[in-house]
Amino acid sequence: MSSPVLRLESVRKVFGTHVVLDDVDLDVAPHTVTVLIGASGSGKSTLLRCANLLETVDDGAIWLDGQEITDPRVDADDVRKQIGVVFQAYNLFPHLSVLDNITLAPRRVHGVSRRVAEDRARALLDRLGLAGKADDYPDRLSGGQQQRVAIVRALATDPKLLLLDEITAALDPELVGEVLEVVRGLKDDGMTMVIATHEMGFAREVADQVCFLADGRVHERGTSAEVFGSPQQERTKTFLRRIT
């Protein structure tokens, strides 16, 4: 296997006395999709937040593209520049146009010129079916469009890795499809992604690797066919029966 884009080794995260991630190992190969499934509170968001250094780990180590990012000497901003993140709530800046939302980080953080940033933003908007929305403000867009803009914004800095945390959970059901369609497109383009989701049909379809988290542990992992098609652990079976 080529060296992983993301590697977690024995990661432990504790809040107070609550062990939220317990001895978590994970390898994410380039151009693959890893899906995290598990009940609410099982640690999916915390895992993604640790990968993006929004949380510090209490033990273990994390590598991004061969660099140990949990090394205290590492500049967290430098790491975050290499990772795109989209959360459940779209978090677009309401006072900025779509184009300005997207070009803010490339221009301010990455030092890209306005022209280059805007060209790239327009190309991405076009690709994600949002051509014509560049000058609109977020409140003019539907939830699905806003979330697609948030994805464009995450892609605008050309990240090595995209982390998606329940990106359809806040959407009206009829808007979920258009956002998942975008993620399918990114997979086809070879984007490396780690996705936390409750959309099991979608997870089954896009995942190269599935990790079932329970109580902060990777309780079961495998290919989509393995975990969804023939889960080995009782707890995985129970979870999948409940949710599907």
For binding to Mg ion (CB under 5 A), which residues are involved? 44-45
Cβ 121 vs Cβ 152: under 8 Å: yes
Helix axes 98-108, 114-127, angle to 10 degrees: 130
The H or E element containing residue 183 is helix 173-188
Q: Which is nearer to ligand ADP, 32 or 42 (CB)?
A: 42
Q: Which is nearer to ligand ADP, 104 or 200 (CB)?
A: 200
Whole-Å CA distances, 156 to 7, 33, 119, 133, 159:
24, 19, 10, 16, 8
CA angle 197, 202, 207 (to 5 degrees): 80
- Tell the smallest beta-carbon distance from residue 18 to ligand ADP (Å): 6
Give me the torsion for CA of 107, 92, 45, 212, rounded to 10°: -100
Tokens encoding 145? 């469009």
Instruction: Give me the phi and psi of 185, to 5 degrees please.
Output: -60, -40
- Tell the smallest beta-carbon distance from residue 31 to ligand ADP (Å): 25
236 binds, among ligand ADP, Mg ion, none (CB under 5 to 8 A by kind): none
17 binds, among Mg ion, ligand ADP, none (CB under 5 to 8 A by kind): none
Q: Which is nearer to Mg ion, 104 or 170 (CB)?
A: 170
- Tell the smallest beta-carbon distance from residue 13 to ligand ADP (Å): 8
- If we measure between CA atoms, which residue out of 70, 191, 179 comes closest to residue 128? 179
Which residue has its beta carbon closest to Mg ion?
45
Point out which residues bind ligand ADP (CB under 6 A): 15, 20, 38, 40-46
- Tell the smallest beta-carbon distance from residue 80 to ligand ADP (Å): 18
The span from the CA of 80 to the CA of 101, in Å, is: 17
Q: Which is nearer to ligand ADP, 42 or 70 (CB)?
A: 42
In terms of DSSP bridges, do strands 209-214 and 193-196 run parallel, antiparallel, or are they unpaired?
unpaired
41 binds, among Mg ion, ligand ADP, none (CB under 5 to 8 A by kind): ligand ADP
Q: Which is nearer to ligand ADP, 21 or 124 (CB)?
A: 21
38 binds, among ligand ADP, Mg ion, none (CB under 5 to 8 A by kind): ligand ADP
42 binds, among ligand ADP, Mg ion, none (CB under 5 to 8 A by kind): ligand ADP
Q: Which is nearer to ligand ADP, 50 or 124 (CB)?
A: 50
